[in-house]
């Protein structure tokens, strides 16, 4: 009785088997990319909401100390407009007032508010203010909320696709 070896007629994978493996890997990769992108958007949106809360706190302190909601800079010269735009910027005014050391920027804005960058906008609303942002995970094109209808530069809500705000004061 000798040693018999059973030999398989195949020495590798068939093209069909390789194609099936490649298709499965491609499907898993595409699912991962879409999921990762959604997670990044939600993380940036969470940062935006936190930033707006911090901006409101800083502006509230500034208002208590100076009697106004930063009435210079911001792009429009009257303290409304882009938080990091204008001369001086609202952010710079808060830093010069020694209320913060940090420049608060939208997570997609690496330097300043430029084309394609969401940024934050301050609006004067009667004796109060509103700070607006554009969240990525929320569809743009939301109509102007009634609470913002009397605010300065309220047209910027639709023009820049803003869809989230925090309002303080009246």
Q: 95: domain range?
A: 48-168
Write down the pTM of the prediction: 0.78
Query: How buried is residue 121: exposed, middle or buried, by Cβ count under 10 Å (0-12/13-18/19+)?
Result: buried
Q: Is residue 35 one of the residues assigned to a domain?
A: no
Q: Specify the pLDDT at position 113.
A: 65
Residues 84/94, Cβ–Cβ less than 8 Å: no
Q: What is the CA radius of gyration of the chain?
A: 26
Q: Is residue 147 one of the residues assigned to a domain?
A: yes
Percent of residues in the chain assigned helix, strand, coil, to nearest 5: 40, 10, 50
Q: Specify the pLDDT at position 82.
A: 87
Q: Is residue 132 one of the residues assigned to a domain?
A: yes
Q: Is residue 87 one of the residues assigned to a domain?
A: yes
What is the DSSP secondary structure assignment for residue 163, as one 8-state letter?
Answer: -
Number of independent structural domains in the chain: 1
Q: Could you tell me how far CA 115 lies from the centroid of its own chain?
A: 14
Q: Is residue 115 one of the residues assigned to a domain?
A: yes
Q: Specify the pLDDT at position 10.
A: 62
Q: Is residue 74 one of the residues assigned to a domain?
A: yes
**Which among 111, 108, 112, 90 has a CA at the least distance from the CA of 99?**
90
Residues 56/122, Cβ–Cβ less than 8 Å: no
Q: Which residues, given as ranges, of the chain have pLDDT below 70?
A: 1-10, 111-116
């Amino acid at each position: 009785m000798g040693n018999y070896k059973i030999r398989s007629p195949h020495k590798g994978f068939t093209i069909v088997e390789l194609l099936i493996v490649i298709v499965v890997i491609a499907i898993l990769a595409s699912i991962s990319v879409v999921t990762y992108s959604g997670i990044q958007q939600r993380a940036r949106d969470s940062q935006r909401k936190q930033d707006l809360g911090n901006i409101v706190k800083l502006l509230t302190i500034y208002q208590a100390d100076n009697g106004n909601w930063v009435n210079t800079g911001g792009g429009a010269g009257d303290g409304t407009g882009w938080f990091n735009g204008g001369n001086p910027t609202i952010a710079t005014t808060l830093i010069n007032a020694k209320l913060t050391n940090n420049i608060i920027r939208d997570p997609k804005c690496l330097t300043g508010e430029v084309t394609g960058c969401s940024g934050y906008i301050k609006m004067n609303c009667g004796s109060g203010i509103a700070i607006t942002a554009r969240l990525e995970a929320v569809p743009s094109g939301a109509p102007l909320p009634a609470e913002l209808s009397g605010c300065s530069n309220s047209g910027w809500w639709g023009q820049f696709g803003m869809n989230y705000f925090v309002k303080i004061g009246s």
